[in-house]
Amino acid sequence: MYNNEKREHELIIRNGWTLILPALVLGLGGGCGLCHIEGLCWLGYTWFGLCMVFVLFMLWFFRNPTRVAPVGEENIVSGAEGTVRSVQYVTEDDGSPASAVVKEFFPGEKAVRISTFLSPLHVHVNRLSIGGKVVQCEYRHGKHLLTMDERSSLYNQHSVVLVEDSDGLRCLHKQITGPIVRRVIFWLDEGQPVKRGGILGMMKFGSRMDIWLPADRVEVCVKPGDPVVAGETVIAKRK
């Protein structure tokens, strides 16, 4: 099993170093090399500057600020940092593309989907909305529709992380790729115990996260347009 407790203490998520360190070496090496060629010193400084801009952006992008979940297990927290774009109630027979998700994960129930959109400037480390046990986690291949398209929740490439707590409350986390952003990562195993607000995974350079909950068991606390912080902002409360 993945030990996400260690990731909690990483100021920069370890996955980012494979991009940061090569850019740093290329910037220093290329810049110094060009500066030793007569007439190309300006190009060396330019190359070094561009590489450093890239390094600084990667350091910012892969940052992992400390998050503290609010006290009270009744609080269900956001899985991603960004802006809430939609809060939608769905049943398995309402005819919408989202109904297929309800049919698979919440059969016979009414579910609520809270969609959060991320920009490249948001923290891209994702967190768990509830604690409990991971009962399902997998990556599903698919299309690359715009994430604002309702169909993207079903048809785009995405991850599925389903957590169930001791009271039987299920929470579905879906990391969804877009037309440009095509990689999402989760660091969990099926059967693994997890804590509310703990690290789930990461999205690469923006995208969308959908949190699905049984509508009859929760009261939604956010609305479209609200800013949210992963692991801290309460998006719903247990009834």
Average pLDDT of adjacent 10-residue blocks, the chain of 239 residues: 70 90 93 83 91 94 92 94 94 86 93 92 93 93 68 76 95 84 82 93 82 97 96 96
pLDDT of 217: 96
DSSP-based three-state secondary structure for 164: strand
The domain locations on the chain are: 4-61, 75-238
pLDDT of 1: 44
Three-state SS string over 3-64 comes to CHHHHCCCCECHHHHHHHHHHHHHHHHHHHHHHCCCCCHHHHHHHHHHHHHHHHHHHHHCEC
Q: What kind of architecture, by CATH, is found in domain 75-238? A: Distorted Sandwich (2.70)
Contacts of residue 203, Cβ cutoff 8 Å, sequence gap at least 6: 80, 118, 124, 126, 175, 181, 183, 184, 185, 209
pLDDT of 35: 83
- Residues that are catalytic: 207
pLDDT of 221: 96
Contact 111, 144 (CB under 8 A): no
The two three-digit tokens of residue 188, written as one number: 């969990």
